[in-house]
A and B are shown apart, each in its own frame.
Chain A
Amino acid sequence: MPFAIITYFLKGAEMTLSEYFYNDFYKNLFGKTWPKWVGAVVLALLNILLFLYIMPLGGIYPAIADWGIWTYKLVGLDITPPWGSLQPPHLSIISVLSVSIMLGVLTAALLSKQFKLRKDTVGGYVQGFLGGTLMGIGSFIVGACILGGFYSSIMALSLSGFYMMIGLIAGGYAGGKLMVWQGRKKAEKILLDFKVVPKDTVSKDYKSIQPKIGIIVVIVLLVLSLIYFLKGMNLFGGIILFGAAFGIVFQRSAFCLTGAFREIFTTKSNGMIRNVILSLLIGVIGFSIIKANGFRSANMFVLPSGWHSIIGGIIFGFGMVITGG
């Protein structure tokens, strides 16, 4: 930021401050998708910092499972959660992290005018429901979802991460083949009937107010973080900022793990998986320094490993691809 201000003064009266921020700051950050390798590097560095702060990126499915158990509680069913003990969402690190990631994605989508309510067919919803269910089952069997069981687990030098990777490649391939088949069917239908091409459900006027709503979401995030800090719950305040940063980087760089595994043997366009590996290489070095020096427990994010990791990876990989990442 200081450099931006200095540059502004160097440019003298050629442009106003608002023009400068629009052209050199906003348009660079939100006007175009970031290169994938930038996402790979920044996500790895953020994950290293988050590991130093409290834990690596993970716990997304345990958080979703907690929300499910709370939903069951609302209708009077008292069920033991699959992971750990049940915490109220606002007092659970993983829930706060997951919601912050979502708000970070929402912020980036709004600021870049990419938020849009996208309807689907009944078949699409059924497929989404099945995909979500399969990802849940895969997470139970592996012991964690793709972020905790693969991404952070490999960085943490856990053998389970490599087992899950084998499963994800197989499951991603099977799901990818199904998607290719569905794509062909859809294309045939579109050729026969042009009316099935989905209409843009958002008007241009609506798009123009998105950045303003995005700024409101940023303010909400900062206020939520501040509330936790003021209540002395500094850990949660920091987690909100971390989560938002992860969400923004994921959305802006389109760093898609689903796409990475889906494409390996289907379209064989492997730029995304190469960036995932680049991210892992950086993370492995960072995590090793942290663990070897005893800054964090060596066993952190070392998950059970065995055939279940591969089978769970296959189920998770298939589920994530048919959901459509």
Chain B
Amino acid sequence: MGMLWRSAEGYIRHWVALLGAMLIAGLWVPLYGYQVGNGWLYGPQIFLPDKLGWAGALIMVLLTLAGCYTFFTWIEIRKKRG
């Protein structure tokens, strides 16, 4: 996303990055042998409500995000306190 964004703002370095991203696309299937999502590399598709139920999945996801929010804030506060 940042690449499209900065390209549109006039950053020539991101035009070059866009070119790199475009050209690498030609190597994936010839080298790996399958399209993205297929073959030995990829794990199962896990939809959290299938495993935990809707309530369990929502509680887990919201708590994880809230935990991350608190943790990142704590890192920042600790740095400010020195």
Contact = CB atoms under 8 A, between A and B. Distances in A.
Interface of A: 60-61, 64-69, 71-72, 77, 79-84, 98, 101-103, 105-106, 109, 114-120, 124-125, 127-133, 135-137, 139-141, 143, 145-147, 154, 157-160, 162, 247, 250-251, 256-258, 264-265, 268-271, 273-274, 277-278, 280-281, 284, 288, 291-292, 298-299, 302-309, 320, 323-325
A75 to B, nearest CB: 10
Contacts, number: 235
B36 A143 contact: yes
B44 A304 contact: yes
21 contacts: A64-B21, A65-B21, A66-B25, A68-B23, A82-B28, A83-B37, A120-B13, A128-B13, A132-B17, A132-B18, A132-B20, A136-B25, A141-B41, A157-B47, A157-B48, A158-B47, A268-B79, A273-B68, A304-B45, A309-B43, A323-B3
Contacts of B58: 157, 284, 288
B9 to A, nearest CB: 5
Nearest to B22: A68
A157 B50 CA distance: 10
Interface string B41-82: 111111111100010011001101110110011011011000
Contact of A101 (B4, B24, B69, B73): B4
Given A65-B21, A265-B75, A268-B76, 12 more contacts: A69-B25, A80-B35, A102-B8, A109-B10, A128-B13, A131-B17, A132-B21, A133-B23, A271-B76, A274-B69, A280-B65, A320-B2
Interface residues of B, number: 58
A128 to B, nearest CB: 4
Contacts of B76: 268-271
Contacts of B49: 157, 291-292, 298
Given A61-B21, A69-B25, A302-B47, A105 B37 contact: no
> Which 3 pairs from chain A and chain B are nearest by CB?
A306-B43, A132-B17, A68-B22
Interface of B: 1-14, 16-26, 28-30, 32, 35-37, 41-50, 54, 57-58, 61-62, 64-66, 68-69, 72-73, 75-76, 78-79
Given A119-B12, A120-B12, A302 B46 contact: yes
A158 B46 contact: yes
Contact of B14 (A68, A71, A128): A128
Contacts of A145: 1
B73 A270 contact: yes
